Amino acid sequence: MLSAEDIRHGFGGRDVLRGVSLRLAPGEVLGIGGASGAGKSTLGRILAGRTRPEGGRVRWQGSGLPDRGPCPVQHAPQSPDAATDPRWTVAKILANGGPPDAGALAALGIRPDWHRRLPGELSGGELARVSLARMIRPETRVLICDEITAQLDALAARDLWQALMPLARARGLALIVISHDAGLRRALAARDTVLTDGRLCPA
């Protein structure tokens, strides 16, 4: 479904990704780990079509990712604060890609009384749920979770994953769990990989 072939990318003369290839089947949960600066987030952004790689290509069902319209691969960044416009209400954030998915909102525990608030008026865990919920849409087939619980306390992180995983399974959504936390990846992902020296190796 989603595949990457020989992805190469660097910053300022430093090669971060040196030929990364992967395949993701529908509904699969893949873990990607690695040290800080190993290129986990860069790879995540490339897979979602947010960054154009210097070499190699990302394929979606045999061709490139669509240029316009909603992308089937959604990238959820680490900080929900940075990923939500501070001037938008929660209602507007949730309706960004179209009318919000009531089932997803309920599954992620998004309360109706949040809708009139601004992102700054929600806790980190609450905002993380809002940020995720808007990406779970009929068009979305892959959700790249890029350290989405790294800024949360253990309890809020556990609650979030416990809400997200059944929802993803019910929707047939494939997940890429990017995290430096090997324990978390092992608990969530059927297949776990690690980025080392710019290459993706089985963990």
Per CB under 8 A, contacts with another protein among 127-146 are: 131, 134-135, 137
Residue 120 C-beta: closest distance to another protein, Å: 6
Is residue 79 part of the contact set for another protein (CB under 8 A)? yes
Q: Dihedral through CA 186, CA 23, CA 63, CA 167, nearest 10?
A: -30
Amino acid at 143: L
- Name the 3-class secondary structure at 72: coil
Is residue 13 part of the contact set for another protein (CB under 8 A)? no
Q: Which of 36, 68, 113, 155 binds another protein (CB under 8 A)?
A: 68
Q: Which of 25, 82, 170, 190 binds another protein (CB under 8 A)?
A: 82
Which of 153, 96, 99, 165 has the alpha carbon at shortest distance from 126?
A: 153
Specify which residues 63 forms β-bridges with: 60
User: Strand runs (DSSP E) across the chain, as ranges?
Assistant: 2-11, 14-24, 29-33, 55-60, 73-76, 142-146, 174-178, 191-196, 199-202
First to last CA, the chain: 22
Nearer to another protein, 116 or 186 (CB): 116
Residue 89 C-beta: closest distance to another protein, Å: 8
Per CB under 8 A, contacts with another protein among 21-40 are: none
Q: Which of 1, 10, 15, 50 binds another protein (CB under 8 A)?
A: 50
Nearer to another protein, 14 or 68 (CB): 68
List C-alpha distances in Å: 112 to 1, 91, 102, 105, 106.
35, 9, 11, 9, 10
Nearer to another protein, 99 or 183 (CB): 99
Nearer to another protein, 6 or 121 (CB): 121
- Name the 3-class secondary structure at 163: helix
Residues near another protein (CB under 8 A): 48-50, 68-71, 74-75, 77, 79, 82-88, 96-97, 118, 120, 131, 134-135, 137
